[in-house]
Structure 1
Amino acid sequence: MTNGELDGPFYTIDEGAFKLRLVLEDDEPLDEVCNVDGWVEVPGDGWWAATFFSLAEVGRLLAQRRAGEEYGAAAYFSCTDGISVREPGVDAILAAGRGLVTDGSYRSRLVKSVTS
């Protein structure tokens, strides 16, 4: 299991090459996180926003929206900063963040955060 720091709703993991900060629900088990807002901080390149979804969570959202005829009768799922991971859990999300930073694709897949 990933070693991170919990500070209020924020769970932060410092990988050295980047930091991952997630906004967890109260008492949410780390291995069950399946839909979470987060940021990837790359030293010298700022913070980049993402929403991480497990594949099962995307399926659940599509089924929920199909019932309500939202979003093209759930023919698709889309969000600007959405990143899908195979399985739920912080470890899977961290692996995705690591991949995004390693290959530089965070610049095209995530949304640059504006900070003061």
Structure 2
Amino acid sequence: MIEIDGPFYRVSDSGFEMLIPRWEGHDPETADQADATITLPDGTRRYATFMTLGVVSGIMDRWRDTGECLNGQYFWCSDLIIIREPGFVSMIDAVRDMIATGEIESACRALPIDDSDQYAD
């Protein structure tokens, strides 16, 4: 389930909760990039950046003009998960699969446990 929670979208799933900042023009059905904090049932928190190949290509094209990363010759981003299709559904499916396969531990950096209950129900 996807809900608006103040400045975030809150994605609630049986195996995790994900908070994604709300940006201007950032729609759950068409979002081609997003940053997310993923909280597992044991309180473990992970960070991920989701992008489509089109977003990565656009950034590299822009860097060709700005000179970054050898004029756009390479791209890197920590905790990057590339999704084929835009939308939160693609991101949710990727997180479910990474949890099921255990890949989330390698793919997404661990964050400190949030003791503030800032987002607790």
Q: TM-score, normalised by structure 1?
A: 0.89
Secondary structure, aligned partner of 1:67 = helix
SS state at 1:91 partner: helix
- Alignment partner, residue 119 of structure 2: none
- How far, CA to CA, are the matches of 1:40 and 1:100 in structure 2? 12
- Aligned-residue offset at 1:26: 3.1
Work out the CA distance in 1 between the residues paired with 2:54 and 2:97: 21
- Who is 1:16 aligned against? 14
Partner residue, 1:77:
75
Whole-angstrom distance in 1 between the partners of 2:90 and 2:28: 10
SS at match of 1:64: helix
1:31 aligns with 2:23: no
- 2:28 corresponds to 1:67: no
Q: CA RMSD in A?
A: 1.4
Note the C-alpha offset of 1:24.
Answer: 2.0
Counterpart-to-counterpart distance in 1, 2:46 and 2:109: 5
Q: How does 1:76-95 map to 2 (within 5 A)?
A: 76-95=74-93
Moved more, 22-31 or 4-13: 22-31
TM-superposed CA distance for 1:45, in Å, is 5.0
User: Under a length normalisation based on structure 2, what TM-score does the superposition of the two structures give?
Assistant: 0.86
Q: Provide structure 1 residue ranges, at least 5 long, that are not aligned to the other structure.
A: none
**SS at structure 2 position matched to 1:28:** coil
Name the stretch that deviates more: 13-22 or 103-112: 13-22
Q: What are structure 2's unaligned runs of at least 5 residues?
A: 116-121
Q: Which runs of 4+ in 1 moved over 3 A?
A: none
Asked whether the equivalents of residues 56 and 87 of structure 1 are also in contact (C-alpha less than 8 Å), the reply is no
Q: Which of 5, 25, 31 matches 2:3?
A: 5
Distance 1:109 1:30 in 2: 22
Count matched residues.
Answer: 114
**Hey, what does 1:113 align to over in structure 2?**
111
What are the Cα deviations for residues 77-107 of structure 1, in whole angstroms up to 9, with x where unaligned?
Answer: 1111111100111111111111111111111
Q: Which residue of 1 aligns with 2:42?
A: 44
